[in-house]
Amino acid sequence: MNNCIRELLIRAERARKQLLSPVLSANGLTPGQGQAGILNTLLKEDRLNQKELSLRCHMDTTTMSRNIDNLEKLGLLKREMNPECRRSVIIRLTEKGREKAFNIHEMFIQFENILKKDISEEDMEFFQRILTKMCENLEENIPQENQL
Residue 74 lies in domain: 5-119
Whether residue 79 lies inside any domain: the answer is yes
Judged against a pLDDT cut of 70, whether residue 106 lies above it is answered with yes
Whether residue 144 lies inside any domain: the answer is no
Q: Report how far residue 127's alpha carbon sits from residue 145's, in angstroms, rounded to the nearest whole number.
A: 30
Cβ contact 33:67 at 8 Å: yes
Whether residue 129 lies inside any domain: the answer is no
Whether residue 9 lies inside any domain: the answer is yes
Average pLDDT over residues 111-122: 96
> Tell me, what CATH number does 77's domain have?
1.10.10.10
Whether residue 127 lies inside any domain: the answer is no
Structurally, the chain folds into a number of domains equal to: 1
Whether residue 27 lies inside any domain: the answer is yes
Q: Report how far residue 109's alpha carbon sits from residue 116's, in angstroms, rounded to the nearest whole number.
A: 11
Average pLDDT over residues 84-102: 91
Give the pLDDT of residue 78. 95
Give the pLDDT of residue 146. 59
pLDDT tens, position by position, 25-48: 998 898 888 999 999 999 999 889
Question: 4 — phi, psi (to 5°)?
Answer: -80, 160
Whether residue 80 lies inside any domain: the answer is yes
Please state, for a pLDDT cut of 90, what percent of the chain lies above it: 76
Tell me the whole-structure pTM to 2 decimals: 0.84
Query: Vertex 16, ends 13 and 20: CA angle to 5°?
Result: 145
